[in-house]
Structures are given as C-alpha cells and as structure tokens.
Amino acid sequence: MNNAQKILEKLQHDNIRPQPRWIFTSKEWIKWLAYITFILVGSLSLSIILFAISVNGFDMIQHFRHSGMEAILVLAPILWLGLLIFFIGASIASIMQTGRAYKYSFSRWIGLSTGISMALGTLFFITGGARWLEQKFETNIESYESLLEKKSTIWSQPDLGTLSGEITDTEENSFTLKDWKNQLWTIQTTDAFIAPVLDIQSGVQVKINGKKVNDKVFIAEKIRPWGGAPGKCKDDTVQ
C-alpha cells in the first residue's frame, strides 16, 4: 500500500472532509480586519499621547509627588504609550497569521505597522481628532474628567504653590489674575522668572509657580503661558 492509499484510507476512516473555500477566505479576512483594527486603535493611542503633551507639556513632571491628581496626569501618556505598544504588537501577531505574511520579514512588519500607526495618529492629532475624542468622552461619560479639567485643577492649588487664570490688569511688578473660578488675585512679580515668549498683558492666560501669601495675594516665582486650549473648571469657565 502506497502513501496515497494510506492517506485516503485515513481520511475515510476519520470521516475527514474538505472545508469550503469560503471558510479559509473568511479566516484570512478576519485576520486582516484584526490587523487594521489594532493599527487604528494604536493610532488613536498615539494621538491622545500627543494631545496630552500639547495640553500639559512636560513641566508637570516636577510636581509628580504633590498629589494623586498630578500623578495621574503625568502617568496618563505613559499608560497610553503602553497601549500603543500593545496594539502594535497585537497587529503584528494578527498579520503574521495570514497567508501573505511570508512576503516580508518580521522586522519589516514591525517597521511597517509602527510607521502606519505613527502616521495615522499624528494626522488624527493634527486634524483635531484627539481633542474631538476627548470632548466626546467628557460629554457622554458622566464620571470622565478631561485632561484639560485635570490640568486646570492641578494649576489651581495655591496652597501647593500653583495658580493659573487670565490676566485682567497690569501694574509695575504686579498684575491682577482672575482664576478659573473667577476669583481675583494680586500676583507679585518682582523676583519672578517670566518666560521670554510671554507678554504680560490683559487677556493673556498664564500658569504660575510660587507662594500664597493670603487669599488674595500670591508671590510668583515662575510665570509661563497657559499653553494648549483655554483653561476651564467643571463649574466655571473663563468669560
């Protein structure tokens, strides 16, 4: 008995029947769909990382241990970075299961998948997609607090040395600040570092490091532009 006859008898004995072509085609499409989905989710993760950096900058790292809120704000981009790496890895695992994966080496698939995710994520961020997604979360999820709200909250802790808001009036060595809750502060700037790009004038939004003297006076040590989108709090917005 030759090998062909043995295989035929094995198939008959185990009642093995060939599967329709559409089953293999469907499995292939599912794997490609999973690859595309993981790439898109990875792109969204990258766009949110870029949005978080644009809103908060890197200066919050120095306040990492001040409060749990600040720790969350600093760690948020790192968590999204972890998701980005996970979804890129998942996309590569999906594509390597397809019938055409052999056409490229594993390293090339890594480069291709990472490049696509970075390009789409950057495009999504530039076109305002990340901010739109953030607003949708804020609107539709009651317990969700946006990055901008977290930033406004963190930079509104005068007892911990942070204050922010809009300049309403200026004088020599001082100016009046209206914070996000519409409270007025006298900011003393005699020995303060003022960012070179900052023009101290009415209507400008700033964030300040310094020391609280009382409920109306704050001595500034560093004054920098607010940066990113206009600040706000949950109940009050700058008018």
Question: Residue 207's pLDDT band (boundaries 50, 70, 90)?
Answer: very high
Mean per-residue pLDDT over the chain, rounded: 77
| Mean pLDDT calculated for residue range 84-109 | 75
Residues of the chain with CATH 2.40.50.140: 157-225
pLDDT band at 41 (very low <50, low <70, confident <90, very high): confident
- What confidence tier does 18 reach under pLDDT thresholds 50, 70, 90? low
Rounded mean pLDDT, 121-149: 74
3-state SS track over the chain: CCHHHHHHHHHHHCCCCCCCHHHHHHHHHHHHHHHHHHHHHHHHHHHHHHHHHHHHCCHHHHHCCCCHHHHHHHHHHHHHHHHHHHHHHHHHHHHCCCCCHHHCCHHHHHHHHHHHHHHHHHHHHHCCHHHHHHHHHHHHCCCCCCHHHHHHHHCCCHHHCEEEEEEEEEECCEEEEEECCCCEEEEECCCCEECCCCCCCCCCEEEEEEEECCCCEEEEEEEEECCCCCCECCCCECC
pLDDT recorded at residue 66: 47
Report whether pLDDT(166) > 60.
Answer: yes
Question: pLDDT value at position 239?
Answer: 37
Residues paired with residue 179 on neighbouring β-strands, in sequence order: 165
CATH 2.40.50.140 fits 157-225, yes or no: yes
